[in-house]
Structure 1
Amino acid sequence: MSPYVLATLISTLGLGTMIALSSSHWLLAWMCLEINTLAIIPLMAQHPHPRAVESATKYFIAQAAGAATILFAALTNSWVSGSWHIPEMWHPLPCTMCILGLALKMGIAPLHSWMPEVMQGLSLKTALILATWQKLAPFCILLQVPPSNPALLMALGITSILVGGWGGFNQTQVRKVLAYSSIAHLGWMVLILQFSPSLALLSLFIYFIITTATFLLLDTSKATNINLLATAWSKTPALYAIAPLVLLSLGGLPPLTGFIPKWLILKELTEESLFVAATFAALGALISLFFYLRLAYAVILIILPHTIIAIAPWRIKRPKVYLLGAICVILSLVLLPFTPLLTALFSW
């Protein structure tokens, strides 16, 4: 792909998200969501491979369905209330349709089935954009929608946590595992959204940091399945000594950074006397932790029987050092002692 075209598409992605974040009008926010969708599709299909084209097509169909639902919800709300202002969506019918449309766009269970298949056909860098940046605009619009249907948000959150945990079982493809990881983390954010929007934003911020660190670590060795993950240490030994800690942080294991949102969300749920929801969320976190442990085990403890392929080559290509990756790896490990500072920064 031409560097000029690539720069244009990435700039369009950034501009669409920024305008959506600053918009409180339904039509403008909807247009920015569609700009984002149209900008990422060429990035998905830039490699001339049938699987990449298939992923781009599936993504377009899912996003088009979500966009139609959101636009219909906005039109219905305008007809009922006479307003296009996002925070003024109080009628249950358009509010429910809007939440479901945004859930389809983000890949929240049970509207998640497109997410693992699309992620599997993408390069690691494009999958990183899909798993992080593309969630930002729909999630911030969801923050503005009044919680007139709390039971729906609770159901979506718990379902996503459980589906994200169970879906990662028996997966050998790392991108599918990270897709189910994204579904589970979005479930935690949606679960706490109506009680503490600031905590949901903190969870999104920490998820972005750890997911970025994970994808950039995998991109250094091009490890896309567990077998390649088991031999990645021969290419970048020092980097892959840290990789298990990053994966365990993504799973929410203390004392790593990923424990912060799970700890605070469970605390908030128990303070709201939602003990059943907190129990299901904790069980879902334990289920998810299994496949993170599986990946960490593959990285650091498995050597394949044919050890000749795991011997370090005599001429190792120096890996590209990503400043962003280095910062995200450090932050994904050491932020737990700064929890009071983070909660103060994200509270309003």
Structure 2
Amino acid sequence: MNPYITFLFISNLALGTIITATSYHWFLAWVGLEMNTLSIIPILAKHHHPRATEASTKYFITQATASSIILFSSVFNAWHTGMWDIMQLSAHPAPTMLTLALAMKLGLAPFHFWLPEVMQGTDTTTALIVATSQKLPPMTLLFLTSNQLTTSTLLLLAMISTLIGGWSGLNQTQLRKIMAFSSIGHMGWMAAISTISKKLLLFTLMVYLVMTTSLFLTMINSTTKTTKDLGMLWTTSPTLSTLTTITLMTLGGLPPLSGFLPKWLILQELTTNHLILTATLLAMSSLLSLMFYMRLTFTTTLTISPNTTNSTMKWRLKPTKLISPSPIIISTFFLIPITPLIFY
């Protein structure tokens, strides 16, 4: 794709996110969502391959359906209340419809089926955009309307998402699909805390974006697509292999790494608000995610030379030197000391 055209689409992508994040009128929020969706469709389909076409078609149908439900819920609310303000969502069916539409846009289960297929059908760079920046516009609407949304529905979606995100990732060998199910699980944690603590929602989102970006940049830098490629990462860069191991453990939520902190604080808030069953289910489902993260960690570092392996050696493949992921990976280790500055 022409670099000027790519720059145009990326700029419109950012502009749509900014419009949605700064709007207090439902129509402007919908316009931002549509700009965001229409800008990423050519990026998804830039590779002339049936899988890329299929991924872009699935993404367009899902996002257009969710946007139409959001517009319908806002029109229904304006019809009953006479207001288009995002913060005034009081007509009875509108909050439930908006909750389901945001769940579809974020990839929360049981509306998650599009996310693994879309991320697997595109290249790693586009999968990074889908897993990170594309979560910002619906997450902004979730942040603004969390006080009006149905709490029981959000908690149910959160529990199902964490279970499916952990359970479905156990049987995957493609790293992009694993990261898709990881995203589903992390979105479930954010949905669970969205109606209780907005500060904790933002903190969890920040940690998720940093951890996911660092692992995706590692995959881009080393042309890693499967677990077999991850096992041969030491032939490309032993240092990057070590940092990738720590990033995987951070995503799994092992203490004292930064990924443990949001889960700990979310469980604390849930138990404080007497949601013991939800907190227990989230904690148990996180063990499923930790299982495939530890399997990737074992493949990355514990199968290196001089151990024998049946995998094809990778030292003849030249890595792509785009952006060094090391600074972002190192930043995942230093988020714990700044946590008091965020909450107090």
Q: Would you call these one fold, judging by a TM-score over 0.5?
A: yes
Match of 1:75 in 2: 75
The 5 Å alignment of 1:1-348 reads: 1-145=1-145, 146-302=147-303, 305-306=309-310, 309-310=312-313, 312-313=315-316, 317=318, 319-320=320-321, 322=323, 325-344=325-344
Secondary structure (helix, strand or coil) at the match of 1:90 reads coil
- Separation in 2 of the partners of 1:24 and 1:69? 18
Shift, 1:137, TM fit: 0.8
Shift of 1:341: 2.1
After TM superposition, the structure 1 stretch with the greater mean CA deviation from structure 2, 298-307 or 59-68, is 298-307
Work out the CA distance in 1 between the residues paired with 2:28 and 2:159.
Answer: 31
Shift of 1:273: 1.3
User: Conserved in 2, the CA contact under 8 Å of 1:199 and 1:261?
Assistant: yes
Deviation at 1:318, TM superposition (A): 6.7
Letter in 1 for 2:201: A
Separation in structure 2 between the aligned mates of residue 311 and residue 116 of structure 1, nearest angstrom = 26
- Post-superposition CA distance 1:298-337 (Å, at most 9, x none): 1112256347x43744xx74752625x3332011123223
Unmatched segments (≥5 aa) in structure 2: none
CA distance in 1, matches of 2:320, 2:139: 34
TM-score by length of 2: 0.95
User: For 2:151 and 2:310, how far apart are their aligned partners in 1?
Assistant: 54
Alignment partners' CA distance in 2, 1:338 and 1:152: 33
Deviation of the 1:230 alpha carbon: 1.1
The amino acid across from 1:111 in the alignment is: F
* Greater CA drift, 127-136 or 234-243: 234-243
Deviation larger for 196-205 or 331-340: 331-340
Deviates further, 147-156 or 53-62: 147-156
| Shift in alpha-carbon separation, 1:267–1:85, aligned structure 2, 3 A | same
Structure 2 CA distance for aligned equivalents of residues 183 and 318 of structure 1: 29
Q: What are the superposed Cα offsets for residues 75-108 of structure 1, whole Å, 9 maximum, x if unpaired? A: 1111111111111001230110011111101111
CA distance in 2 between counterparts of 1:120 and 1:297 reads 23
Asked if the contact 1:257–1:331 (Cα under 8 Å) also holds between the matched residues in 2, the reply is no
Once structures 1 and 2 are overlaid, which stretch shifts more, 219-228 or 2-11?
219-228
What is the aligned length? 340
Q: In the TM superposition, what whole-angstrom CA distance separates every residue of 1:192-220 from its partner, at most 9, and x where no partner exists?
A: 01010110011001100000000000111
Displacement, 1:148?
4.3
Taking only the aligned residue pairs, the percentage that are identical comes to 44
Distance 1:85 1:31 in 2: 15
5+ long unaligned stretches in structure 1: none
Given that 2:222 and 2:319 are in contact with CA atoms closer than 8 Å, whether structure 1 keeps it comes out as no
CA distance in 1, matches of 2:128, 2:314: 29
SS at match of 1:305: coil
CA contact (8 A) 1:202 1:343 kept: no
Change (3 A) 1:311 1:53: closer
* Deviation digits for residues 237-265 of structure 1 (CA, Å, limit 9, x no counterpart): 21112111101101111111111110110
333-342 vs 51-60, which moves further: 333-342
Following superposition, the deviation at residue 338 of structure 1 comes to: 2.7
Q: Aligned equivalents of 1:319 and 1:63: distance in 2?
A: 32
Distance 2:276 2:160 in 1: 16
Output the TM-score relative to the length of structure 1. 0.94
Give the secondary structure class of the aligned counterpart of 1:87: coil
Amino acid at match of 1:167: S
CA distance in 1 between counterparts of 2:12 and 2:24 reads 20
Question: How many angstroms does 1:222 deviate by?
Answer: 1.4
Task: Render the CA deviation track for 1:89-147: whole Å, top value 9, x for unaligned.
Answer: 01230110011111101111111111111111111110011001000011111111133
